[in-house]
């Protein structure tokens, strides 16, 4: 895995350009715009501190928010996931998903959706990750850290079904999802399987079938923008998580 920022290669740009509005002539090259958006993702710098001559930070910030609002980032993430699955000899859409959460500290200046996760002793936000069996992020959400995992997961079921469709057969999760989340999945004719470590185990034990989502959460540590939540809105937080997965998928091209 590449741990530092690198500009898009020709092959990577060819893979993502069909999903960007490149039909008309623009003042700034969209390839430079994408490179500039990926810069703060890796380095964690502020928009105003990006070192791209001739490319105003306001333009980069504008495209980030525009693509966030019109769904371009989410569609690009799904398309690259499908491409990577096909390149690995799998069906484009997964039939099995894994779900888990991560509580993360929130920057002091950000107040929307803040809460205290008493179990993990984190005052901030809670991220929900829905990944396939190889760790690709398909759906993400961000809420207050004091919200229950199962309740957050229920709000994502419709998004998951819309993104994956009728291919989805099973979802793996821990004990926190064994209640209302599992019952709601059953209404969609989707099986829920609780994957937890053996009761006799002591200390940290990787849980079969669920460790992939933990690995995906660990991968976010390579992107400074998402190591801590600096975003005022949760929609921006979600978009940065998708961009982190997009960067991971691009590295495999």
The string of DSSP letters for 67-118 reads HHHTTHHHHHHHHHHHHHHHHTTS-SS-SEEEEEEEEEEB-TT--TT-EEET
Q: Which two tokens stand for residue 209?
A: 């079938």
Kind plus residue range of the DSSP H or E element containing 227: helix 224-227
Distance between CA atoms of residues 216 and 249, nearest Å: 12
Fold of 10-251: Nucleotidyltransferase; domain 5 (3.30.420)
- pLDDT in the model for residue 24: 65
Q: 253: number of CA atoms within 13 Å, CB side? A: 19
> Average pLDDT over the chain, rounded to whole?
90
- pLDDT in the model for residue 212: 92
The answer to whether the beta carbons of residues 77 and 246 sit under 8 Å apart is: yes
The answer to whether the beta carbons of residues 150 and 128 sit under 8 Å apart is: no
- pLDDT in the model for residue 195: 76
- pLDDT in the model for residue 222: 94
Low-confidence ranges of the chain (pLDDT < 50): none
Distance between CA atoms of residues 206 and 197, nearest Å: 7
Distance between CA atoms of residues 95 and 114, nearest Å: 33
Q: Which ranges in 4-56 belong to alpha helices (H)? A: 10-16, 30-43
Mention every residue, 6+ apart, whose C-beta is less than 8 A from residue 2: 251
Distance between CA atoms of residues 164 and 14, nearest Å: 24
Other CB atoms within a 10 A radius of the CB of residue 209 amount to 14
Other CB atoms within a 10 A radius of the CB of residue 28 amount to 16
Instruction: Tell me, yes or no, if the pTM score tops 0.85.
Output: yes
């Amino acid at each position: 895995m590449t741990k530092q920022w690198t500009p898009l290669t020709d092959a990577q740009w060819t893979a993502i350009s069909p999903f960007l509005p490149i039909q008309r002539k623009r003042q700034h090259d969209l390839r430079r715009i994408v490179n500039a958006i990926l810069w703060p993702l890796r380095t964690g710098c502020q928009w105003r501190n990006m070192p791209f001559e001739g490319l105003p930070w306001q333009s980069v910030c504008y495209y980030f928010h525009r693509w966030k609002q019109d769904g371009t980032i989410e569609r690009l993430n799904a398309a690259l996931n499908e491409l990577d699955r096909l390149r690995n000899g799998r069906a484009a859409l997964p039939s099995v998903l894994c779900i888990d959460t991560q509580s993360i500290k929130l920057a002091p200046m950000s107040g929307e959706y803040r809460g205290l996760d008493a179990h993990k002793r984190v005052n901030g936000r809670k991220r929900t990750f829905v990944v396939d069996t190889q760790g690709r992020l398909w759906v993400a959400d961000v809420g207050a850290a004091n919200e229950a995992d199962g309740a957050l997961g229920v709000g994502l079921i419709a998004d998951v079904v819309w993104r994956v469709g009728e291919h989805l057969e099973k979802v793996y999760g821990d004990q926190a999802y064994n209640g209302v989340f599992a019952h709601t999945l059953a209404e969609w004719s989707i099986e829920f399987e609780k994957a937890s470590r053996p009761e006799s185990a002591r200390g940290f034990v990787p849980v079969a079938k669920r460790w992939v989502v933990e690995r995906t959460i660990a991968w976010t540590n390579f992107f400074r923008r998402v190591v801590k939540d600096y975003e005022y809105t949760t929609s921006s937080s979600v978009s940065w998580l998708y961009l982190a997965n997009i960067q991971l998928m691009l590295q495999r091209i």
